Amino acid sequence: MIRPWTFLPLCALPVLAVATPLDDARTALDSGFAQVALVKLEEHFPTIGLPQSHPEANLLYARALIAADQTDAAILLLKSSPNHPAPDSSFWLAQAHAADGDWEDALANYTAAAESPDFALHKEAVIGLARMLGNLGRLGEAAAALAPATSWPASRQQSLAFSDLAEICLAQDNAPAARDALAHLSPSTPAEKTRRDFLLARTAVLENNDAAAIELLAPLVPTDVKMAVHAVLLQADALTRSGRSSDAETLLEEFLATHPSLPGLDRLFVALDEIYAGSASASSSELQRWSEEKEPTLRKKLSTYYLARLEARQNNPRSALPLLEQLAADPATNPLARETMLELAALRVRLGLNAEALALLPEEGHSPHTDFLRGLALSRTGEHTPAAAAFSSAARDPNLAESALFNAALCELYAGKKPNTALATLKEKYPRSTRSPTFHLQEAFHLARTGDPLAREAFEKLAASPTPAIASRARLALAEWKYLQLDFPGATRELARISTKSDPAREAALQVFLADNEDPAADDQAIASARAFLSAHAGSESEPSVRMKLGELLFRKGDFATARVELDTLARKFPETEYDEPALFLSAQAASRIPSATAPDEALLLFEEVAALDGPLAARARLEQASILTAQGKPLEANVVLDKILASTPDRDLKATALIEKGKNLYSLGDTDPANHRAAIDVWKQVSSEEAADPAWRNQALVRIGTALEKSGDPNGAVACYYDVFKPTEGTPKEFFWFHKAGFAAGRILESQEKWPEAVRVYELMAATEGPRALEARNRIKKIRLEHFLWEE
């Protein structure tokens, strides 16, 4: 497409020997002072601009209005002045419409003016006519309109015509015709020579003659902004194709560095972004510097957008996110507002911020691309039915159709929809698509995830597929399925039957897990297998699970320092994944077991990280923190942590654990302040009073209350409290540890008070349970009876 010229430049008209007001205004206009011409005409022609004014003055006034960008007034004047000669009126109307970008009306008027061969501006009308045809995409007609230029005498008009013809040929990708048109040029001014060299360079690029293009473009001094931008793009493209991408990058960066607000900068950033995308080590330094400029230049906005793209490509999505959000917050001044919205939505989906992505995306049906993103976001939030609809809508784009239908079919599968209409459409439209067998493999995976025993049969059937990639993936999945069913020999056999290595990393990962058979003697071999995997398959999808397994193996072996290194690496390398929290938690546990003066404090910090994630292990991390603080002799600080757990509405067991530990910490302070014994009792009563409390928790709380009462000098109260644990009930006690602890504690107090019958009665209750300490209770009964002459009734 040739560039959309809006105004045809003309040669200066001759000045009459005797100057008149009209000549004076014409001279000002031809010298480039349109506003001066308007003032002079308005001074000497009071009725200027009205139909009754001097026709020649009105025509000159219309020309001056066009040159002063007052095209609407010029058009109104020319249409309302009936005394203008037709060619003149038509030509200047065409100029005004062209300046407005109204190609159709301009074309009609240029055509009318060009019909008069004797018209003084006939050649200019022909050139204008061709330009409008070019702007309307009618390139063949435009070239035909310029054909008569071959018979024109050598002149500036002929040079313009051949230059325009070369542009048209280049827009048609016709390099020979463009070179032929340029051969007719005999530039007489530096500007004409520059334009010819520029067009020759474009021709050379079209001919893949990059060396010639670079030679022409390197010394070129552009005549306008559009040529400057186009020339830099051409030169960068030629350099890149010549294997000189670094030179192309430097060229673009230096041009952008000196032109912060030039129209066309967006095209230059696109080219620079393509070079960055093709580089394994692209630097973001220039984009970073421009994005931090204080002045809100066009370059600042564009560099912020492309810096975000670069960060996202370099696997730094968290760095890209605030950059895009900054741009999205001010769409009115963002030249790439729509692109920013799409990039931000895609990035949010990538980061798992699916609700935020959906809030940004337009409604379904807006465009196939946004529908595809909508489908991804919905599917990842488990909304499979609307996700399937969004993917089906995206399938109206032929470039997205196959992938969109495949995703829609998966969503219908997960939603339980039968029949699967998306799958039927995929098979109908793309009968040879490799995605159909891939769907059936995913269908088998779905059966396995839901625990359906039919998964085994599905995998076995797919393992016999004639497509090696499907067969090997199915065989590997079958091995993994057998591993999860604890059929370790079967999993090993299936691995051995895989002939085509479709996913070596997953195979190696499964071998690591099979090596860990929970036999301590095999731990060293499993650790070696895990290390070999990480050496060969770093960065693979299975790396997090294998690194977690390695950390667990090292922890189990007691090598806590090395386990911590592996688990820390996992948590830092794969943040915000399913392994992040458990890796940090186990790393903290490992740190707490390292015999070092600083290890407990390091463990506290790691447990704090886990708690801050507010995930399933947050409360356990708080308990671990409290345990460390207690061990460090800081019971009050430990209780502050436990209070955080209690304030988070924990479940019953967690609440009981926290209360028991809090009471123990208060009890430990009772020697210095007996009031703490009473405080501990009050805390433990919160556990013992729970109606639905687990017997073990209730009994433990009562025993601890009894111990505190003893410590406070209330042995009778302690016995009464212990009695609530071991008192006779129907059936077998629900737990024995605290049951026996309470009984023997009560028996000890009663013996110290020489209440032998009561002590014997307590031991009889213990003996009657046939629990783990029943024999001990019987022996105690015998001893008391013998020593104190008590006879059995």
Q: Where in the sequence is the domain holding 747, given as residue range(s)?
A: 724-793
- Chain mean position to CA 379: 16
Which CB contacts under 8 angstroms, 24+ apart, belong to 157-162? Answer: 157/11, 157/123, 157/124, 157/127, 158/123, 158/184, 159/185, 159/186, 159/187, 159/188, 159/192, 160/127, 161/123, 161/126, 161/127, 161/130
Q: Average pLDDT in the 451-471 region?
A: 81
Residue 608 lies inside a defined structural domain of this protein: no
* pLDDT the model gives residue 52: 72
pLDDT band at 185 (very low <50, low <70, confident <90, very high): confident
Residue 465 lies inside a defined structural domain of this protein: yes
- What is the C-alpha to C-alpha distance for residues 561 and 568, in angstroms, rounded to an integer? 11
Residue 166 lies inside a defined structural domain of this protein: yes
- What is the C-alpha to C-alpha distance for residues 552 and 583, in angstroms, rounded to an integer? 9
Residue 351 lies inside a defined structural domain of this protein: no
CA 721 vs CA 685, 699, 718, 754: distances in Å: 11, 10, 5, 19
- Compute the CA torsion angle 142, 147, 151, 153 (nearest 10 deg): 30
Q: Report the number of distinct structural domains present in the chain.
A: 3
User: Is there a contact between 621 and 588 (Cβ–Cβ < 8 Å)?
Assistant: yes
- What is the C-alpha to C-alpha distance for residues 277 and 282, in angstroms, rounded to an integer? 8
Q: What does the block give as tokens for 167?
A: 């542009």
Tell me how many degrees the CA angle 222-224-225 measures, rounded to the nearest 5.
Answer: 100
Q: What does the block give as tokens for 214?
A: 């670079």
CA 497 vs CA 384, 471, 474, 507: distances in Å: 35, 11, 11, 12
One DSSP character per residue, 510-567 reads HHHHHH--S-GGGHHHHHHHHHHHHHHSTTSTTHHHHHHHHHHHHHHHT-HHHHHHHH
Q: What does the block give as tokens for 116?
A: 């008069």
- Tens of pLDDT along 319-348? 999 999 998 888 888 889 888 988 999 999
pLDDT band at 3 (very low <50, low <70, confident <90, very high): very low
* pLDDT the model gives residue 459: 83
* pLDDT the model gives residue 250: 93
Number of residues in the chain: 793
The percentage of residues in the chain with a pLDDT greater than 90, rounded to a whole number, is 45
- Tens of pLDDT along 40-98? 888 888 888 787 777 888 888 888 898 888 989 888 888 887 666 678 888 998 999 99
Does the pLDDT of residue 391 top 90, yes or no? yes
Domain boundary among 133, 152, 186: 186
pTM: 0.58
- What is the C-alpha to C-alpha distance for residues 589 and 606, in angstroms, rounded to an integer? 9
Residue 161 lies inside a defined structural domain of this protein: yes
* pLDDT the model gives residue 17: 43
Which DSSP category does 116 fall into?
-
HSE-CB for 37 with a 13 A CA cutoff: 24
Residue 255 lies inside a defined structural domain of this protein: no
Q: What does the block give as tokens for 512?
A: 């690591």
Does the pLDDT of residue 11 top 80, yes or no? no
Contacts of 29 (CB under 8 A, 6+ apart): 36, 37, 60, 63, 64, 67
Residue 793 lies inside a defined structural domain of this protein: yes
Does the pLDDT of residue 519 top 50, yes or no? yes
In degrees and rounded to multiples of 5, residue 494 shows phi and psi of -65, -40
Q: Which has the minimum average pLDDT: 229-238, 449-458, 524-533, 666-675?
A: 449-458
- Chain mean position to CA 415: 26
One DSSP character per residue, 47-86 reads TTTSTTS-HHHHHHHHHHHHHTT-HHHHHHHHHH-TTS-H
pLDDT band at 6 (very low <50, low <70, confident <90, very high): very low
* pLDDT the model gives residue 691: 60
- Tens of pLDDT along 392-408? 999 999 999 999 999 99
Q: What does the block give as tokens for 618?
A: 């947050």
Q: Which has the minimum average pLDDT: 162-176, 446-460, 616-630?
A: 446-460
Does the pLDDT of residue 8 top 60, yes or no? no
* pLDDT the model gives residue 793: 53
Domain boundary among 452, 474, 500: 500
- What is the C-alpha to C-alpha distance for residues 194 and 230, in angstroms, rounded to an integer? 13
325 compared with 483, residue with greater pLDDT = 325
Residues 229-255: b if buried by 16+ CB within 10 A, e if exposed:
bbbbbbbbbbbbeeebbeebbebbbeb
Kindly report the CATH number assigned to the domain that includes residue 148.
Answer: 1.25.40.10
Q: Average pLDDT in the 222-237 region?
A: 92
Q: Which has the minimum average pLDDT: 13-17, 102-106, 174-178, 570-574?
A: 13-17
- Tens of pLDDT along 204-217? 999 999 999 999 99
Contacts of 588 (CB under 8 A, 6+ apart): 603, 606, 607, 609, 610, 621, 624
In degrees and rounded to multiples of 5, residue 691 shows phi and psi of -65, -40
Burial of residue 546 (number of CB atoms within 10 Å: 0-12, 13-18, 19+): buried
Domain boundary among 168, 186, 204: 186
Among 66, 47, 64, 43, smallest CA distance to 55 is for 47
Q: Average pLDDT in the 486-512 region?
A: 80
Mean pLDDT of the chain: 87
Q: Average pLDDT in the 660-676 region?
A: 91
- What is the C-alpha to C-alpha distance for residues 172 and 153, in angstroms, rounded to an integer? 27
Q: Average pLDDT in the 32-41 region?
A: 84
User: Is there a contact between 625 and 644 (Cβ–Cβ < 8 Å)?
Assistant: no
Residue 681 lies inside a defined structural domain of this protein: no
Does the pLDDT of residue 14 top 60, yes or no? no
The percentage of residues in the chain with a pLDDT greater than 70, rounded to a whole number, is 96
* pLDDT the model gives residue 2: 39
